[in-house]
Amino acid sequence: MFARHDLVWLTSRGWQRVRDGAPQAALSALDRWRDGGWPAVVRRTEAGMLPGEVAIGFPLPPRPEDGGKLKFGCAVEMSDIGRRTRALPLVGALDAVPAQWREGLEALERQAADAGVSLSVYGSVALAALTGQYYLTPLSDIDVLLQPQTRRQLMIGLDLLSWHAGILPLDGEVVFPDGRAVAWKELRAAFAGAPGTRVLTKGLDRIALVLPEALMATLEEEHG
């Protein structure tokens, strides 16, 4: 099953389909992407897509002349995908981040690993690490994915992200085992807020407001 932020590498046929549907202004950048061997990113399914299709996007780097970003998205068939991985693990992005972030991110990654908590990255940090292109600026966020399997991992992960957000520009989501994701800052605020507070969840197929308890029910309890 595919999930938002998955990374996919296309076959030759897949690239041809992408080029056939792309605007002329994007072709040069897309060809460079293809020739670099870089992945596309799985995004939320759109209305009108056929069974067996996967929505993907190419978040192209900012244009040097004006800083504008050209984002191109399309749908491909599953047979157009040659390889897929989940989002890039945080440890795989450490060498790509600015020096002023590295020590803090290394500490976050180490503490999370020691606690058995899985952290990945997406957005500008992941794209910089995957492509070597210019994505990061002093105003960039660090988009982190916390992917807990247990309630303990969730609470430890939220505490770690909250503490390190005091020294790093951390943002991102918690992704629950059923694929639904919620901004980790929103979830943490809901836990501290009034009973009945709902949070906005994003899945591959839909967006919905839900109670945090419904998300917590997808996590395993740890005993002993």
Question: For residue range 75-101, what is the model confidence (pLDDT) as tens digits?
Answer: 999 999 999 999 999 999 999 999 999
Question: For residue range 194-218, what is the model confidence (pLDDT) as tens digits?
Answer: 899 999 999 999 999 999 999 999 9
Distance CA 107, CA 101 (A): 10
Mean pLDDT of 160-186: 97
Of the residues 35, 66, 114, 141, only one is catalytic, namely 141
- The model's pTM is 0.93
H or E segment at 192?
Answer: helix 184-192
**Beta pairing partners, 37:** none
Task: Find how far residue 121's CA is from the centre of its chain.
Answer: 6
Does the annotation count 143 as an active-site position? yes
Of the residues 66, 143, 159, 205, only one is catalytic, namely 143
Give the closest residue to 26 by CA, choosing from 74, 96, 86, 66: 74
Confidence (pLDDT) at 66? 63
